[in-house]
Structure 1
C-alpha cells in the first residue's frame, strides 16, 4: 500500500553497544544521509525532523538504520519516532514554532 500523505517525523536513532557515551560519529553519518536526500530535514539537539511524503520519510529512516548497521557495525539501534500528519494545510516545523512565538509575544504584551 502506498501512503501519499505528507508528514513531519521527528526521529532519534539510538545506537546501542557502541562502547562509548558519545554517538556524534553516528549522528553525523545519518545527518549527512538525511541532508543528501531530497527531503527537507532539520537537525536539533535531540534528533532530526524530516518533512515529506510518508513513504519517503519512512524509507529514509530505514536507510538511516541500514547505514549504521552496515557501515558503522552497530548491532542494535533503538529509534524514537513521532509522526504528525494533517490534511487541512501544509505546515513546516518553522511554521509551528512561529505560531507559538507569536502567541508568546502576545502573552508578554498583556
Structure 2
C-alpha cells in the first residue's frame, strides 16, 4: 500500500543543534528508496507504507546507537485507495486552488 507521511524526528541530545541527527535520519529515508522532501520542520515522505514504517524504526535504532538517549517522533500518515496521488500531486492541487483566476 502506498502512503504519504510527514515525519518530524526530534532527538533529545542536550544540545541546541540537532542538524547532524536530522541529516542522518534524512539519509536513512533516502537509502530506503523513499521519495523525500525536507522542509523546515520535518520531512515529507512517499513510498510503500511498510518501507516508511521500517525506515522510521531504523532512524530510531541508528540515532540511539549514535548517542541520542531519547527521540520523539511525530508522524502524520495518509493512504488512499480511490486513486494514486504523489507528494507533488497534492501540492499542485492546492496551488491550482489558490491561483488567481
Q: TM-score range by the shorter chain?
A: over 0.9
The Cα RMSD (Å) is: 1.1
Alignment partner for residue 10 of structure 2, among 11, 14, 17? 14
Higher Cα radius of gyration: 1
Tell me what 2:26 maps to: 31
Alignment partner for residue 95 of structure 1, among 83, 89, 95? 89
Gaps of 5+ in 2: none
Partner of 2:24: helix, strand, or coil? Answer: helix
Distance 1:7 1:96 in 2: 12
Partner of 2:73: helix, strand, or coil? Answer: strand
- The runs of at least 4 aligned residues of structure 1 exceeding 4 Å deviation read none
Using the size of structure 1 for normalisation, the TM-score is 0.86
Gaps of 5+ in 1: none
Tell me what 2:74 maps to: 80
Equivalent residue pairs, number: 101
Using the size of structure 2 for normalisation, the TM-score is 0.93
